[in-house]
Amino acid sequence: MNAPDTGRQRAVLLVEDDELVSDAVARSLVREGYLVLTAPTGHDAIGLLRTPGTAVDVVLLDVGLPDVSGADLCKRLRELFPTLPVVVCTGAAGPEEADELRRLGVARYLSKPIEVATLVAALRDVVVGQTG
Residue pLDDT, tens place only, 74-102: 999 999 999 999 999 877 666 777 788 88
The residue ranges of every structural domain in the chain are 11-131
pLDDT at 58: 97
Is residue 124 within 8 A of residue 1, CB to CB? The reply is yes
pLDDT at 132: 52
pLDDT at 9: 87
Cα distance from N-terminal residue to C-terminal residue, the chain: 19
pLDDT at 98: 76
Which parts of the chain fold into alpha helices (H)? 19-31, 42-50, 70-80, 95-103, 116-131
Pairing mode of beta strands 11-15, 108-111? unpaired
Name the class of domain 11-131.
Answer: alpha beta
Q: If the chain, 132 residues long, is cut into consecutive pieces of 10 residues, what is the mean pLDDT of each piece? A: 58 96 96 96 97 95 89 93 92 74 88 90 88 54
